[in-house]
């Protein structure tokens, strides 16, 4: 598949078709400079605190993730960044602007892919894209050309004149992402992008997002899937109950909060807890889960040998790499997916 | 402003892609059918004119308001609850205010078409004469616009959407239809029921419509009162609606 130049800045030698007045409104940021800076960000609904004073920074050109279970405050934070939700406290600037003061200007440079698709089902694929483009005040000619590009990107060319209600879930999700790109956003925000998709659709989506990342679009993703976080994010933040527990690259987090490998063993009902103390003496750290015990060590195979030679024979055993799930478990004592 | 127009064009596509009903048949059947019966039984017709002429401006007012009502409540429920389109729009540079006003204006598009067809039919059947009755289209539109502004607010502000449409049908549309002096002069109703008419935008719009089409008697203070009623509905409705939209989108 050809790599489609999605950014006006990429078309060297051609005059940019992107409306001049819109690009001039954003001060130019260099790669690596912070596009979003938040300090003490807070959001409460009456007694309930969704976001309890968090600090973070998103840099241009990176793929930044919010990882955490449902109810952690990820979506709320995203909506504050998208300048559609007013914060209760703290400060945040997006592209150098305060969302409460310059909301529309910020939104002009964002692309938002919400958790649930909110396309207009009675309209066709093309009409959905066209109208959305018009909401940004983009010129008709620009939009028409952009639609061709985006349909190709989303692999929806044949569905151009099909009503959205006739599309499958995966196609609707691809359309929502394509729609979010119509204004060539500086920052593309995706809230749980692959929730509810089958494995094949997930991989197609990851591929598309990866290409966007290669083209320099700054990605902001929330997810509760650790494989998604590991695959897509350069840096991520682990959130739970409205606070940030840790921040680093996926590899950095794993290195810091977990060992290189994990040995998962089962001993049958009840015995897992019984043997806990014995197991603990054999390795750096263990986690006792309802159905299995996780034993953390630099080498899982070696640990298994040690275990067996100590006379402890597990029913089943599995050696695997440490993942962000283990990081989360270490930080909060709970699994990502309840 | 330009974004608001685009908002409207979107709704136009959505609304017109559904069917356009024909209220003309109502006018024809009721007006002519009942009208000939009434005319036969009274030498002076009703209110000094034949029944068809009496009925026509009332139905014009009625249908304008009814159309505006459905073209405002349904898209609003769709935009906030069923398909959540408004939240998608809100993620763009559009503001809550623009979305609210755009929805309101879009709701009037179909009303314009209906009202124009209606007045043409009225002329064809000689229910009205001259050029002055053409102004009744504008007043019918004004009436519909004012009432739809209030309904825009109500639909955006209501918490429990499930029964909303049924309640609107039973408590608002039915009484408006039956108690607004459409088919008979309001004064012929007992006084304890007339107040429904006085509150009803259909009655106000009908009175003005009748004044414009066949010189139904209205004192200048009455005329001023009717227009004031609509002006109040319009300003209050839009202000409250904009606020309700903004609040709901920012939650």
Written in H, E and C, the secondary structure of chain A is CCCCCCCHHHCCCCCCCCCHHHHHCCCCCCCCCEEEEEEEEEEEECCEEEEEEEEEEEECCCEEEEECCCCCCHHHHHHHHCCCCCCCEEEEEECCECCCCCHHHHHCCEEEECCCCCCCCCCEHHHHHHHHHHHCCCCHHHHHHHHHHHHHHCCCHHHCCCEHHHCCHHHHHHHHHHHHCCCCCCEEEEECCCCCCCHHHHHHHHHHHHHHHHCCCEEEEEECCHHHHHHHCCEEEEEECCEEEEEECHHHHHHHHCCCEEEEEECCCCHHHHCHHHHHCCCCEEEECCCCEEEEECCHHHHHHHHHHCCCCCCEEEEEECCHHHHHHHHHCCCCCC
The beta-carbon neighbor of B83 closest among A121, A134, A137 is A121
Q: What is this structure's pTM?
A: 0.79
Give the whole-angstrom CA distance, residue A25 versus residue A203: 36
Cβ pair A188, A212 in contact under 8 A: yes
Which has the closest alpha carbon to A166: A200, A202, A125, A199? A125
B163, pLDDT greater than 60: yes
The beta-carbon neighbor of A84 closest among B2, B84, B91 is B91
Give the whole-angstrom CA distance, residue A117 versus residue A113: 8
Q: Positive or negative CA dihedral for B126, B127, B128, B134? A: negative
Q: State the smallest CA–CA distance between residue A205 and chain B in angstroms.
A: 20
Which has the closest alpha carbon to B155: B30, B245, B55? B245
Triad A262, A265, A266: Cα angle to 5°: 155
Which has the closest alpha carbon to B240: B175, B160, B173, B146? B146
The 10s digit of each residue's pLDDT in A41-89 is 999 988 889 999 999 999 988 999 999 888 888 889 999 999 888 899 8
Subunit contact B3:A118, Cβ cutoff 8 A: no
* More confident: B39 or B93: B93
Within 8 A of B1 by CB-CB distance, chain A residues are none
Within 8 A of B2 by CB-CB distance, chain A residues are 137
- Binning pLDDT at 50, 70 and 90, where does residue B31 land? low
Subunit contact A135:B251, Cβ cutoff 8 A: no
Q: Which residue of chain A comes nearest to B4, CA vs CA? A: A135
Query: What pLDDT score was predicted for residue B24?
Result: 54
* More confident: B66 or A243: A243
Give the whole-angstrom CA distance, residue B85 versus residue B79: 4
Query: What pLDDT score was predicted for residue B94?
Result: 85
Helical axes A169-180 vs A199-214, angle rounded to 10°: 10
The 10s digit of each residue's pLDDT in A77-136 is 999 999 888 899 899 999 989 998 888 889 999 999 988 888 888 888 998 898 898 888
User: What's the whole-number mean pLDDT along residues A130-157?
Assistant: 90
For chain A, which residues lie within 8 Å of any Cβ of chain B, measuring from their own Cβ?
82, 84-86, 103-105, 107-108, 110, 112, 114, 116, 118-123, 127, 131-132, 134-137, 183
Please count the residue pairs, one from chain A and one from chain B, whose beta carbons lie less than 8 angstroms apart: 69
Subunit contact A118:B87, Cβ cutoff 8 A: yes
Query: What pLDDT score was predicted for residue B239?
Result: 93
What rounded mean pLDDT belongs to chain A?
84
Contact status of B1 with chain A (Cβ, < 8 Å): no
Strand A187-191, strand A48-59: pairing: unpaired
The beta-carbon neighbor of A135 closest among B6, B13, B87 is B6
Give the whole-angstrom CA distance, residue A182 versus residue A175: 11
Subunit contact A104:B94, Cβ cutoff 8 A: yes
Which has the closest alpha carbon to A201: A220, A163, A222, A228? A228
Within 8 A of A82 by CB-CB distance, chain B residues are 91
Interface test with B, best of A135, A138, A183 (most B CBs within 10 A): A135
Task: Identify the residue whose tokens are 């925000």.
Answer: A189
Query: Residue B176: what are its φ and ψ, rounded to 5°?
Result: -60, -40
Starting at the edge strand found earlier in the chain, the sheet holding A89-94 runs A48-59, A34-45, A89-94
Subunit contact B93:A122, Cβ cutoff 8 A: no
Compute CA distances B239 → A64, B32, B78, B139, whole Å.
Answer: 40, 42, 21, 21
Within 8 A of B96 by CB-CB distance, chain A residues are none
Which has the closest alpha carbon to A151: A129, A136, A121? A129
Task: Identify the residue whose tokens are 């060319």.
Answer: A157
Cβ pair A92, A38 in contact under 8 A: yes
Contact status of B74 with chain A (Cβ, < 8 Å): no
A6, pLDDT greater than 50: no
Subunit contact B88:A114, Cβ cutoff 8 A: yes
Contact status of B16 with chain A (Cβ, < 8 Å): no
A259, pLDDT greater than 90: no
Subunit contact A84:B83, Cβ cutoff 8 A: no
Within 8 A of A127 by CB-CB distance, chain B residues are 13
Compute CA distances A51 → A56, A113, A337, B125, whole Å.
Answer: 13, 21, 20, 67
Q: State the smallest CA–CA distance between residue A110 and chain B in angstroms.
A: 8
Query: What pLDDT score was predicted for residue A23?
Result: 47
Interface test with A, best of B91, B99, B250 (most A CBs within 10 A): B91
């Amino acid at each position: 598949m050809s790599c489609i130049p999605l950014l006006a800045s990429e078309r060297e030698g051609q005059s940019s078709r992107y409306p001049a007045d819109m690009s001039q409104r954003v001060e130019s940021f260099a790669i690596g400079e912070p596009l979003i800076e938040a300090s003490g960000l807070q959001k409460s609904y009456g007694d309930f605190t969704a976001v309890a004073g968090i600090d973070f920074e998103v840099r241009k050109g990176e793929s930044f993730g919010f990882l955490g279970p449902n109810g952690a405050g990820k979506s709320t934070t995203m909506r504050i960044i998208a300048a559609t939700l007013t914060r209760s406290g703290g400060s945040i600037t997006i592209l150098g602007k305060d969302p409460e003061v310059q909301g529309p200007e910020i939104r002009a440079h964002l692309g938002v892919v919400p958790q649930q698709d909110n396309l207009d089902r009675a309209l066709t694929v093309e009409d959905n894209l066209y109208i959305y483009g018009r909401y940004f005040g983009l010129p008709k000619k620009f939009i028409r050309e952009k639609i061709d590009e985006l349909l190709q990107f989303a692999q929806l060319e044949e569905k151009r004149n099909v009503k959205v209600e006739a599309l499958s879930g995966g196609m609707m999700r691809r359309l929502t992402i394509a729609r979010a790109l119509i204004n060539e956003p500086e920052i593309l925000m995706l809230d749980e992008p692959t929730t509810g998709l089958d494995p094949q659709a997930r991989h197609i989506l990851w591929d598309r997002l990866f290409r966007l990342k290669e083209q320099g679009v700054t990605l902001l993703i929330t997810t509760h899937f650790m494989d998604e976080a590991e695959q897509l994010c350069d840096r991520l933040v682990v959130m739970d109950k409205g606070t940030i527990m840790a921040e680093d690259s996926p590899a950095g987090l794993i290195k810091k909060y977990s060992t290189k490998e994990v040995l998962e063993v089962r001993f049958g009902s009840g015995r897992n807890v019984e043997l806990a103390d014995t197991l603990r003496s054999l390795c750096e750290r263990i986690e006792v889960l309802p159905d299995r015990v996780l034993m953390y060590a630099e080498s899982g195979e070696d640990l298994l040998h040690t275990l067996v030679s100590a006379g402890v024979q597990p029913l089943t055993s599995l050696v695997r790499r440490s993942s962000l799930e283990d990081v989360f478990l270490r930080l909060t004592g709970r699994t990502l997916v309840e | 402003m330009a974004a608001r127009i685009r908002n409207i064009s979107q709704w136009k596509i959505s609304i017109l892609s559904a069917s356009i009903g024909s209220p003309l048949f109502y006018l024809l059947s009721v007006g002519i059918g009942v009208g000939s019966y009434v005319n036969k039984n009274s030498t002076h017709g009703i209110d000094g004119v034949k029944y068809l002429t009496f009925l026509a401006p009332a139905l014009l007012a009625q249908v304008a308001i009814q159309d505006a009502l459905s073209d405002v409540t349904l898209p609003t429920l769709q935009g906030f609850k069923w398909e959540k389109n408004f939240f998608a729009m809100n993620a763009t540079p559009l503001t809550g205010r623009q979305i609210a006003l755009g929805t309101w204006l879009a709701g009037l598009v179909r009303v314009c078409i209906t009202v124009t067809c209606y007045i043409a039919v009225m002329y064809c059947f000689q229910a009205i004469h001259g050029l002055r009755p053409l102004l009744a289209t504008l007043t019918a539109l004004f009436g519909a616009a004012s009432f739809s502004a209030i309904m825009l607010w109500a639909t955006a502000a209501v918490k429990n959407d499930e029964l909303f449409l049924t309640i609107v049908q039973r408590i608002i549309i039915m009484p408006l239809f039956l108690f607004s002096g459409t088919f008979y002069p309001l004064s012929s109703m007992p006084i304890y029921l007339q107040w429904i008419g006085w509150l009803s935008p259909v009655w106000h719009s009908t009175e003005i419509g009748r004044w414009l089409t066949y010189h139904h008697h209205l004192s200048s203070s009455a005329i001023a009162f009717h227009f004031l009623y609509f002006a109040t509905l319009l300003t209050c409705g839009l202000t409250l609606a904009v606020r309700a939209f903004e609040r709901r989108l920012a939650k």
